[in-house]
Amino acid sequence: MAATVHNGSITPNSSYTYVNNTNKNVRIVVNYLWTGQSGSNPWLYIGSGQNQNGDTTTMAIELLAGQAYGKHIGFVRGDSNTAQNASGVQGFSMPTEFFLVEGMHFIIELPGNHNKNTMFNFVAITED
């Protein structure tokens, strides 16, 4: 089993794409994804397309700007509002682990304007 760690940031109005070109299946584990601070909601595309409606080969997932997602992420709110549950605001959750077959991709898209970059850390684990 081989693994590659991907770290980085995405500037507003751009995207990051990971393509599985290993000739094997790949497991993606998202450890951390922070979606900037404000602005348009970011999108994830898992599969072979990039359409916000999704299709038979692509999951399209809308995230909420200004949130952190990832495996084993906890949080504490420091205000008088009631804390959200671990899956975040209703309607804005994401898988933190998924699989890609050869040729499929994982895209993090940051449309519109944000005042901070989106940060990410994930690992791509190739099956042996």
Cα 70 to Cα 85: distance, rounded to the nearest angstrom: 14
**Is 122 in a helix, a strand, or coil?**
strand
Q: What is the pLDDT of residues 108-121, one digit of tens each?
A: 998 877 677 888 99
**Is 25 in a helix, a strand, or coil?**
coil
Handedness of CA 49, 21, 124, 101 (dihedral sign): positive
Q: What is the pLDDT of residues 8-46, one digit of tens each?
A: 999 888 899 999 999 999 999 999 998 877 678 889 999
* pLDDT mean across residues, the chain: 83
What domains lie within the chain, and their CATH numbers? 2-71+96-126 (2.60.120.340)
Q: What is the pLDDT of residues 60-106, one digit of tens each?
A: 998 888 888 888 776 555 555 555 544 445 555 778 899 999 999 99
Amino acid in the structure at residue 44: L
